[in-house]
Chain A
């Protein structure tokens, strides 16, 4: 399967600071990447769909000014949590869509655990 790298895997920050999370597709080009959030013992929640070269599409209820997404290249999307607060503490997971061979498969990064103090 394809490889998606997500960095950092764990970050602790003070309330009010911003945190940037990177998501890279290592062996394929991804025109579309997805950002999810998952709270303990809950299901994945799609936050936004990131398309290379265009603005991200945010799901209802997700603040686009708080969760900035940039997909500047075919292998890199970033999520910046601006002015983070304790309620933003969660497990953030990115994924990238691999359309090679018309299989249209979504591969996940390892996730980033964010703790806001």
Chain B
């Protein structure tokens, strides 16, 4: 079992819709959770981090964490074509970082 699992997609949503990206992790001791966005040919950039159960909102982005169920999700409201990218989930148990393989999102104008 991989440390972090993501649906590779591709996920396609129409412009203006809500995009929902999901991630599950295996290490119950994980304390920190991150979402990165990676455009094609570029390096990952941090979008959000979350440490506590519940929701964390930042602009059009909402991260949701459920430690009991070991999943973390990212919602993108009012999706824009510029949101088209690969989204990486990362989990940080202790000194290790584990990345998922990423979900490819395409926002269709």
Query: How many whole Å from A100's CB to the nearest CB in chain B?
Result: 13
A54 on interface, CB distance cutoff 8 Å: no
Residue pair A1, B46 in contact (C-beta under 8 Å): yes
A72 on interface, CB distance cutoff 8 Å: no
B99 on interface, CB distance cutoff 8 Å: yes
B80 on interface, CB distance cutoff 8 Å: no
Tell me the dominant secondary structure on chain A's binding face.
strand
The total of Cβ contacts below 8 Å across the A-B interface reads 41
Contact with B along A85-112 (1 / 0, CB 8 A): 0000001010001000001111111110
B60 on interface, CB distance cutoff 8 Å: no
Known A-B contacts A104-B32, A106-B34; A43 and B99 likewise in contact (beta carbons under 8 Å): yes
Interface size class on chain B is: 10 to 19
Residue pair B43, A43 in contact (C-beta under 8 Å): no
Known A-B contacts A104-B92, A105-B49, A106-B90; A111 and B102 likewise in contact (beta carbons under 8 Å): no
- 24 A-B residue pairs with Cβ-Cβ distance under 8 Å, sorted by A, are A1-B46, A6-B43, A32-B95, A43-B99, A44-B44, A44-B88, A46-B99, A91-B41, A93-B43, A97-B97, A103-B32, A103-B49, A104-B92, A105-B32, A105-B46, A105-B49, A106-B34, A106-B46, A106-B97, A108-B43, A108-B45, A108-B46, A110-B43, A111-B43
